Amino acid sequence: MLRLREEIVAGTHQPGDRLVEQQLCQAYGVSRVPVREALKQLEAEGFVVSRAYAGVRVAHLSADDAEDLFAVRTSIESITARRAALRFKRGDDEVEGLRTGLCHLVEEGERLLDAGRRDDLPPLNTAFHLGIAELCGNHSLTALLRQVSAKIQWLYAMDVDVRGGHSWTEHRTIADAVLAGRAGEAARLMTRHISNSKEGYLLRHAAPGVSS
């Protein structure tokens, strides 16, 4: 039932939409058991909420929850950007071989923007940030970021029409700093990038006082 999570993240099911078991069973061609298990898991992850007499609905991420998520991102990703840049500065052969891959992610994002394909950007955005994390060489940090990557992608998808162009310009500058080995600059740029995303999201989407 990963497909249901993917559809919520992609915006197929919008915050506040009711998720009806019978309809989900018909849509995915499965029985009620896997649907119920999936809904319980998604509730534990904060993607849906269940209320007595109101059923299950896609969650609204509250302003407080969004703030916390962006704070976690800043803590992790400022470190991963710095450490990835330090590895390039040292001329680490292992990361040098991945230089082309990072450049390709940025170029692909810019290509999709030029083609007007913003709906295809959220998974690529996730790939970019996880790519930086993997380049830092710390498996624990990468694992931590992976744990919240689906929610990060969910927030990005909600804001991609407004933030898409700005975010990939910022990705370009972050990648340039990382690849040039400018560790302090890479960390500052990543921190500013996440701050810009947070401010835009909170302005346009976060629901004050509504729990996820």
Q: Do residue 39 and residue 101 come from a single domain?
A: no
**CATH number of the domain residue 6 falls in:** 1.10.10.10
Q: Do residue 19 and residue 88 come from a single domain?
A: no
Does a structural domain hold residue 209? Answer: no
Q: Do residue 69 and residue 51 come from a single domain?
A: no
Alpha-carbon distances of 171 from 4, 7, 106, 160, 181, rounded to whole Å = 29, 25, 7, 14, 15
Q: Do residue 111 and residue 163 come from a single domain?
A: yes
d(CA 171, CA 62): 26
Q: Name the domain count of the chain.
A: 2
Does a structural domain hold residue 43? Answer: yes
Question: Which 3-state string (H, E, C) describes 153-210?
Answer: HHHHHHHHHHHHHHHHHHHHHHHHHHHCCCHHHHHHHHHHHHHHHHHHHHHHCCECCC
* Residue 139 Cα to chain centre, angstroms: 18
pLDDT score, position 62: 86
d(CA 68, CA 126): 18
Q: Do residue 193 and residue 96 come from a single domain?
A: yes
DSSP code of residue 211? -
What pTM was computed for the model? 0.88
Which range marks the domain in which residue 187 is found?
Answer: 63-204
Residues composing the chain: 212
pLDDT score, position 207: 57
Q: Do residue 154 and residue 67 come from a single domain?
A: yes
pLDDT score, position 212: 42
Does a structural domain hold residue 186? Answer: yes
Does a structural domain hold residue 68? Answer: yes
pLDDT tens-place values along the chain, 212 residues long: 578 999 999 889 999 999 999 999 999 999 999 999 999 999 999 999 998 888 999 998 888 999 999 999 999 999 999 999 999 999 888 888 888 999 999 999 999 999 999 999 999 999 999 999 999 999 999 999 999 999 999 999 988 888 888 999 999 999 999 999 999 999 999 999 999 999 988 888 765 544 44
**CATH number of the domain residue 144 falls in:** 1.20.120.530
- Run of H or E residues at 51: strand 48-51
Q: State whether the Cα torsion 55-60-63-64 is positive or negative.
A: positive
Q: Do residue 82 and residue 140 come from a single domain?
A: yes
CA atoms within 13 A on the CB side of 89: 15
Q: Do residue 189 and residue 136 come from a single domain?
A: yes
d(CA 77, CA 86): 14
Q: Do residue 83 and residue 181 come from a single domain?
A: yes
Q: Do residue 125 and residue 196 come from a single domain?
A: yes
